[in-house]
Structure 1
Amino acid sequence: MTNRSVGIKEVAVAAGVSVTTVSHVLNDVSYARISAETRGKVKSAAEQLGYGPNRLAQALRTQRTGMLGLVSEDIATTPHAGRIILGADEAARARGYNLMIINTSGSASPESRDADVEALLERRVDGILYATMYHRQVQVPVNLGSVPSVLVDSVSTRGSITAVVPDEEGGARAAVGILLAAGHTRIGFLNNTDNVPATRDRLRGFRATLTEAGLDGDAAPVESEISEVQGGYEAASRMLRREDRPTGLFCYNDRMAMGAYRAAAELGLSIPGDLSVVGFDDQELIAANLYPGLTTVALPHYEMGAWAAENLIDAIEGKTDLALMALHPTILDCPLVRRDSVAAPAR
């Protein structure tokens, strides 16, 4: 609990420094030449005394409210993508900011999205995060650039706003790589049919990794369906009935992998004895609860939310230039999550 009766003068006396030094430390003034030891003393004294900053006074002095807006395109109602919000919220709180969330739909009209952003601007947020539930290009609201803004899991069709996205191609390379490392040379890909960056980049990573391993990546089997359980089942059923049936499957996402498990069972194939399977997304309710547990690639939802909030706050406080960062999206790693669905191919 903060103690409103304690002021900055009391903190300065306790730390043995000037009021100016306390102000610079607690407001994280970038140009202040203050040693790490002194900064530690000030923060320790403030914590021990229960000092809390006066938000109203700060707002009057800095013209900032300490509020960030987050426009959520469906992610607030999507369990695995919801970690974007958690990452952004925890990063914002660590810097003394709070998050105000508006949930919208990916199918909402441009006018509706403009109104959502306007609602945040009317509440004087210092900056806005605009997050989508899956990696795609978006036509951003025309008023989004009124304050510092960052796109999360999406890029602007105009290319003028800083964005953070997952490394789709790198994740595919990791997925195919673990199958190659286990000894598989006949590897198939169950891909999505939607024309989104993940569809294209995961296919590129699949083919490139096989080619670099000395295999014919362009000739490797690919079956495309909707990226749901039924789509995975149908695509896997066709692929596993081929005369040159793959011994390893890379699936566009964990839902398609679940469908592949069903198709393999119907054909009497055991996982991983007869068929190794790797997914993508690490949707824990699926991947960790399939039997055997699904080896997959995790999307960095939490990390994207945290990165976006950190860099947005840096821009608000004058520590970074979002215009320069907007030239290229920041790409975050998609780490491999090992479980039990990959083994050496049967001899």
Structure 2
Amino acid sequence: MTTMKEIAERTGVSISTVSLVLNNRDVGRVKPTVAKKVRKTAETLGYKPNPLARSLRTSKTRILGFVSDEIATTPYAGRLILGAQDAARSLGYMLLTVNTNGDAELEDHEISTLRQYGVDGFIYARMFNQRTTLPEGVKPLPTVLLDGSDADGRAPSIVPDEESIGYDATRHLIRAGCRSIAYIGANDRTYAADTGRRAGYRRALQEAGRRFDPGLEVGTTFNQPALDVVERLFDERHPDGFFCFNDARAWYVYEAAARRGLVVARDVSVVGVDNHRIFAETLAPRLTTVDLPHYEMGYWSTLKLVSLIEHRSLGGLPLPETRSPIPPLDGNAARIHCTLIDKESVRR
């Protein structure tokens, strides 16, 4: 088994320098050319760190706990977890993921189990950008809140910039020439996502000199009640542009338009949110949508957590190429701008 001493001898540097590089603590301490040489030598010699020895030496396991309520059962959650895992792997950490299905008793049990495994910190993930009170079990350890904000204002958090979603989507419809733009929102107004997107929708209308019409802003759930709401909107208000809370709600706009002999992208324009693989890619014409940067949020949450655990800045680390830029790590409340993907459902 290759040791740090062998790598140090081969590269002509000290063992402490090798340790800094192989533990990803070299930024600002070791010249980049030296660090590159150390990593190349370690790779050539087949160096493998001993996690048990390291945990005994540092009292750190380099294991992170990822706790979610419903997130692990949703179609897009894989991107959240993948982003967190990729960042953890790049920093020499392992991610353990548990899902609680919103059961408080199960959540307490899973958090307790993760602490028995000696996790160094927690990523606590929520659904739909909720204002959240952290469970007591995570509070003794560094914790980052993913897709939610801490009601107590203590834990760092990252959420989508919800208002910019509504603003960008509505501006896109305005530029396409839509004269009467409706918002198909969520029925549950407690979601920060819905509140922010409504605000962005209204701001875009105001900036364009459009009068806000409360009758064009509706909230709905799913299935037949949702279709009924959208059909009434068509018949009573005759909008030619639709900004939808998510891609699933855009489905009802497509169906209601078809029932009236209207063609999406010719007679009405539609923008959704999520870039949901099923809806955004299978609807015809393909749905223009705002991509929620789940991978980027997951990646940021791990970087932020490790910076808390190791009491150091990770600002100099290279970042992966992503659709939305990963925000800086400074500050405790990050908002990530979401990218609008122009496909075929908006009139040219």
When the two structures are superposed, what TM-score results if normalisation uses the length of structure 1?
Answer: 0.91
Give the SS at the match of 1:146: coil
Number of the residue aligned with 1:16:
12
Residues 88 and 306, structure 1, Cα contact 8 Å, conserved in 2: yes
Q: Distance in 2 between matches of 1:338 and 1:130?
A: 32
The alpha-carbon deviation at position 167 of structure 1 amounts to 0.9
Residues 125 and 148, structure 2, Cα contact 8 Å, conserved in 1: yes
Query: Over aligned residues, Cα RMSD in angstroms?
Result: 1.9
Q: Distance in 2 between matches of 1:291 and 1:21?
A: 58
Q: Distance in 2 between matches of 1:328 and 1:37?
A: 33
Q: Distance in 2 between matches of 1:174 and 1:212?
A: 12
Q: Distance in 2 between matches of 1:207 and 1:32?
A: 46
The 1:245/1:218 distance shift into structure 2, 3 A limit, reads closer
Q: Distance in 2 between matches of 1:144 and 1:186?
A: 48
Number of the residue aligned with 1:310:
303
Q: Distance in 2 between matches of 1:20 and 1:309?
A: 26
The alpha-carbon deviation at position 229 of structure 1 amounts to 4.9
- Aligned-pair identity in percent equals 39
Number of the residue aligned with 1:45:
41
The 1:277/1:116 distance shift into structure 2, 3 A limit, reads same
Q: Distance in 1 between matches of 2:229 and 2:195?
A: 17
Q: Distance in 1 between matches of 2:58 and 2:170?
A: 51
Q: Counterparts in 2 of 1:134-153, with a 5 A limit? A: 134-153=128-147
The alpha-carbon deviation at position 199 of structure 1 amounts to 1.4
Residues 90 and 306, structure 1, Cα contact 8 Å, conserved in 2: yes
Unaligned runs of 5+ residues in structure 2 are 315-328
Q: Distance in 1 between matches of 2:223 and 2:292?
A: 19
The alpha-carbon deviation at position 30 of structure 1 amounts to 5.5
Give the SS at the match of 2:126: strand
Q: Does 1:85 align with 2:89?
A: no
Unaligned runs of 5+ residues in structure 1 are none
Q: Does 1:69 align with 2:65?
A: yes
Number of the residue aligned with 2:122:
128
In the alignment, which of 245, 254, 266 is matched to residue 259 of structure 2? 266
Q: Distance in 2 between matches of 1:33 and 1:299?
A: 36
Q: Does 1:252 align with 2:256?
A: no
Number of the residue aligned with 2:343:
339
Q: Distance in 2 between matches of 1:277 and 1:265?
A: 13
Q: Distance in 2 between matches of 1:230 and 1:162?
A: 40
Residues 128 and 191, structure 2, Cα contact 8 Å, conserved in 1: no
In the alignment, which of 270, 276, 279 is matched to residue 283 of structure 1? 276
Number of the residue aligned with 2:285:
292
The 1:83/1:31 distance shift into structure 2, 3 A limit, reads closer
The alpha-carbon deviation at position 163 of structure 1 amounts to 0.9
Residues 65 and 126, structure 1, Cα contact 8 Å, conserved in 2: yes
